Amino acid sequence: MSAPLVFVVPVRHPGSVKDWDALQGYLRQTLISIAAQTSTDWECVVVANAGAALPDMPPSCRLITVDLPLPDMPDRDIHLEAYYDAVRHDKGLRIHAGLAGIDDSSHVMVVDFDDFVHCGLAEFVAKRRNVTGWNIDKGYVWDGGAWCFAQPQFHQMCGTSHIIRRDLLGSFVAKDGHLDIAAVKRRLGSHIFIHHDLADQGSDLLNLPFPGAVYRIGNPQSTSGSGQLTALMTPRRDLVAHPRRFIRNMLRYRRVTRDLRRDFTLPDNPW
């Protein structure tokens, strides 16, 4: 795959999802958002377990099947770090499978199966192929309603938040020749380490100069466990405990306008 930008969409194991029909609906909307790029210089890889029912793929999207087992997910309320480690292990292996055949000169963007991306990403990246990549440090958080939240440091919150040239991600081969699982979990299974790791090796990511993605919350099929918009972004307890932060965050709400829906191909009925 040699397109300037390749989107990689990892899909969870069917056994870990309560409502697979709902997941297919979210994935369909995400793929429609990806396919709305203003440029044709992109490709998309969806990674899912063999035999999983999936929506129809738009042109330029292809499926890679894996045979990964149902992950053992600890109770996140009791063993939060072990839960995240299991998520990173499963997600990282799926993304690793999706990297197969992508040229080193292509940029890769991991997209969670229920998020939305800006329609101008492929056109932007195609004009800047020598750049190491970008943090999506500006984006929106949305629960499907009439309002969204303009999230600063978006790449610290959402997995759909980096565009990185393939060669910089590494080979993921350990010294003994086997797959480096620790690197897979850290660089692919998580979004919170990669920009620091690349900076440490002298390959700093730039900040994308426009909001690049919408993080959909309130989806019960997601591993993030995020709730509704106001409860997550402006909890009532902050009004007393952190009044300045509460007011600052209240000013970050934005109407979901026609232009915003067009830029990210947001559906009128996301659920």
Under a CB-based contact definition with an 8 Å cutoff, are residues 43 and 7 in contact?
Answer: yes
Among the listed residues 156, 147, 153, 160, the one whose alpha carbon sits nearest the alpha carbon of residue 33: 160
At residue 194, the pLDDT reads 96
- Residue corresponding to tokens 């380490």: 193
- What digits encode the pLDDT tens for the residues 36-87? 999 999 999 999 999 999 999 999 999 999 999 999 988 888 999 999 999 9
Report all structural domains of the chain as residue ranges with CATH numbers, in order of start.
5-223+255-264 (3.90.550)
Greatest Cα pair distance, the chain, in angstroms, is: 55
| Cα–Cα distance for residue pair 165/188, rounded to 1 Å | 13
For 164, the token pair is 């990185």
Among the listed residues 36, 271, 10, 29, the one whose alpha carbon sits nearest the alpha carbon of residue 143: 271
At residue 38, the pLDDT reads 98
At residue 208, the pLDDT reads 99
Please enumerate in sequence order all residues whose Cβ is within 8 A of that of 182, keeping only pairs 6 or more positions apart, or say none. none
Which one-letter amino acid corresponds to residue 248?
R
At residue 271, the pLDDT reads 66
- What digits encode the pLDDT tens for the residues 106-125? 999 999 999 999 999 999 99
pLDDT, averaged in runs of 10, over the chain (271 residues)? 96 95 97 98 98 95 97 90 95 98 98 98 98 98 96 96 97 92 96 96 97 88 62 92 94 97 93 66
